[in-house]
Amino acid sequence: MNGPAPNSKYPVKRFPQITFIKNFNTNPNIEIGEYTYYDDPDDPENFFRNILYHFDFIGDRLEIGKFCAIARGTHFIMNGANHAMDGFSSYPFFIFGAGWEHTAPEKLPYKGDTIIGSDVWIGHDATIMPGVKIGHGAVVAAKAVVTSDVEPYSVVAGNPAKEIRRRFAPEVVEELLQIRWWEWDIEKITRNLEAITGADPQALRSAE
């Protein structure tokens, strides 16, 4: 056996609160890798309600890698939440029309796509702001508000989120980013689970 089927919606029979969210996605501006799961005892099928202000006419993307663990209450704030602030008022008069539409700004603030790497753990009630890049292997603590990019294999916490430590030494991180085990075929991953879940670089390096 090589683990749960990646096309399964509910991969853990005794815990239906866990879903492989790739299999619920219908939005072309959202990309989610295999085996990434969302854990929500109340409404696990509706992960996408947590992606806020994501409007087609803006065109920004949310990309989430493989083997990520996303806890209940995680919110992704997309670029549609931004208001222009260079005038005296940030109120969006133009969206109401009825004679106000001519005040539409030529360009709204845009932070770019939101990119979450692979093997990222996002804790309960975390908030990811527009255009943030979170590196592979990072950990986002519960209730963190991530307003800037997160380095691979770092742990961030707080509001705004700040790095509190690196998970491994720089040379180990560099090697992990070169090995990129999450891109292996699932048979190789299965054969080498002890190396992946352990902390012996040599074991991972010699995986076959």
Question: Does the pLDDT value for residue 1 go beyond 80?
Answer: no
Give Cα separations from 168 to 55, 164, 174 (angstroms).
38, 13, 10
Q: Tens digits of per-residue pLDDT, 33-75?
A: 999 999 998 888 889 999 999 999 889 999 999 999 999 999 9
The label of the residue with tokens 């005794």 reads 14
**Residue 2 pLDDT grade (very low, low, confident, very high; cuts 50, 70, 90):** confident
pLDDT, the chain, mean: 94
SS3 39: strand
Question: What pLDDT sits at residue 176?
Answer: 96
Annotate 108-151 with three-state secondary structure: CCCCCCEEECCCCEECCCCEECCCCEECCCCEECCCCEECCCEC
Question: What pLDDT sits at residue 76?
Answer: 98
Q: Where along the chain do its domains lie?
A: 18-167, 169-208
Cα–Cα dist 207/193, whole Å: 10
Q: Tens digits of per-residue pLDDT, 7-42?
A: 999 999 888 899 999 999 999 999 999 999 999 988
Q: Tens digits of per-residue pLDDT, 111-152?
A: 999 999 999 999 999 999 999 999 999 999 999 999 999 999
Question: What pLDDT sits at residue 171?
Answer: 95
Question: Does the pLDDT value for residue 3 go beyond 80?
Answer: yes
Catalytic residues: 83
The pTM of this model reads 0.92
**Architecture label for domain 18-167:** 3 Solenoid (2.160)
Contact 134, 147 (CB under 8 A): no
